[in-house]
Structure 1
Amino acid sequence: MNINENMTLADVVKEYPQTIPYLNELHLDYCCGGHDPIHVLAREKKMDQAELLAKLNELAEKAVNRNTNTADSINRFRELTVSEMLDDLENTHHITERKLMNEAEAYLDKILVVHYPHHGELLTRLHHLYMMLEADLKEHFAKEERLIFPIMRENPTPDFDQVNAVKELEEEHSKAGDLIKKIQELTNHFTLPNDACASFAHTYEVMEQLFEDIFVHIFKENSVAFPEYYEKMPHVEEAPGACGCGEAFGKTFCGSEEESVDKFKEAADTYAEEIFHNTYTGGRNA
């Protein structure tokens, strides 16, 4: 499959994870913001679309280097069941990122004090953004490990509510992605000041490692694990012949295909209204 202008970066990485280092060099988002077609991305970023596609296709033709942990981990991840994917996420990215977050925080606290006289404005803003990101991620991991992932494991065939609970995680991913972009812009993609010491350099290095791992982490969830889970939600299925029989939202639909679809839409609307009513009014009638 050739990479073309109508594909998204998420599509590209899913099929060709060996393109990730190149996308990182260009500071292109393939996880939270990776769902625009390449032709839209190239126009917005004022990039040479032909050059970008040529390089991506060149990389796509190369065999995945098994020594490249990122590409190998994505290929391996795609072969897992949803439950196995969740275990893998907890045992790899959650552990790695907690370690990197703690290390980055310790070094950032140190250089904030030491370099405050000359870089106080930069480091104060960086510290503020980073601590917001770290707090959000640690709370997000706890929510995944103690609430959402157990729900997914216990409900391999999800209903409407369970799918929506998982989709909340995607919204939180976008929030984290926005904070990362602000940090990258603030630091000019981790360009060191001329008087930076070894601790300053190490702080930036650890943050870069953290962010690269987060990008792969979010990609695995948003583009692989969660879509795989959503696909297991029951849908109206056609019975043999012209009948459009099916079952969803606690109702059975039978009749012509057109009648069944209309009934399904009506039931879906009613179900959504009930969810809204129970959520925001506590089930009380107005």
Structure 2
Amino acid sequence: MTTALTEQTLGNLACLIPGATRVFRQYKLDFCCGGNTPLRDAALQRNLDAEVIASELAALASESGTETDWRNEPAGVLIEFILERFHERHRDQLPELIRLATRVEQVHGNKHDCPNGLAEHLWSMQQELESHMLKEEQILFPLLRRDMQLPQTQGPISVMRYEHEQHGAALQRLAELTNDITPPENACNTWRALYRGLEELRGDLMQHIHLENNILFAQASAH
């Protein structure tokens, strides 16, 4: 069982096994933009034991899953979930994170472990994400809701996939600025609240990209 799992792609496993995305985040495996990579290869790249990870996934698979299997839902239902769970959430998250980051940099900017430049980076992420989400809301999602055929949707989908790669690079930069979102031992409450919010943003954005790349866009491309 575990050997078979190691041959499957991260994206497929994330679709297949409820809770798999939590395991992948724990091991820092990119299941969203890197969703086409087999588990064995992804583990090898990070010097991890693929069989150990596969065993954890197998244990999850044997439990009764309560999460929705979005592969079995109509595109319109998944789109509504993405809009409510992720688009609205990102619009709530980022202004507060920018405010907190600005505060931390103003107060602690002279400390060697202060994430100087984080507020500006988050502001750039906010601009990129807002532009991206508006394109989905105004162009791509209406096409997918009308079940438009392959030629009409493939251009917008390829643009969205490319922008997802940019979001992935922005998350990597976020990790570099924040010691992989790890607050120093002497961090104040504001600093810790900021990093809790950043961890939530990272998890949400990776799940958001996964649902689009590996399910919504994949199914639209398979029509």
TM-score by length of 2: 0.91
Task: Give how far 1:186 is off.
Answer: 2.9
2:193 aligned partner: 202
Structure 2 distance, partners of 1:141, 1:114, is: 33
Q: Which runs of 5+ in 1 are unaligned?
A: 67-71, 233-286
- Tell me, yes or no, if structure 1 residue 158 matches structure 2 residue 159: no
Q: Report the equivalent of 1:23.
A: 24
Is the Cα contact below 8 Å between 2:121 and 2:174 reproduced in 1?
yes
After superposition, the CA RMSD in angstroms is 1.9
Using the alignment, how far apart are the partners of 2:153 and 2:216 within structure 1?
A: 14
In structure 2, C-alpha distance between the alignment counterparts of 1:198 and 1:128, rounded to whole Å: 21
Q: Write the distance in 1 (CA, Å) between the matches of 2:27 and 2:150.
A: 39
1:106 and 1:79 map into 2 onto residues whose CA distance is 40
- Report the counterpart of residue 251 of structure 1 in structure 2: none
Matches within 5 A, 1:99-248: 99-119=92-112, 122-154=114-146, 156-232=147-223
Aligned to 1:63: 64
Matched, 1:91 2:84: yes
SS in 2 for 1:194: coil
**Larger RCO, structure (CA 8 Å, separation 6 or more):** 2
Aligned to 1:51: 52
TM superposition shift of 1:84: 2.4
**Partner-residue secondary structure (3-state), 1:221:** helix
TM-score (norm 1): 0.72
Residues 169-219 of structure 1 deviation map (CA, whole Å, 9 limit, x = unaligned): 011011101110221133222111232100000001011111111111111
Shift of 1:161: 4.1
Q: 1:217 & 1:5 partners in 2: Cα distance?
A: 24
1-structure distance, mates of 2:217, 2:64: 27
For 1:161 and 1:150, how far apart are their aligned partners in 2? 11
- Tell me the amino acid that sits aligned with residue 186 of structure 1: L
Which has the higher Rg, Structure 1 or Structure 2? 1
Deviation readout 1:214-238 (Å, 9 max, x if unpaired): 1111111111111111222xxxxxx
> Structure 2: 5+ residue runs without aligned partners?
none
Partner of 1:282: none
Structure 2: how far apart are the matches of 1:88 and 1:50? Answer: 33
Give the percent of matched residue pairs that are identical in Structure 1 and Structure 2.
23
Cα deviation for residue 55 of structure 1 reads 2.0
Query: Runs in 1 of length 4+ with deviation above 4 angstroms?
Result: none
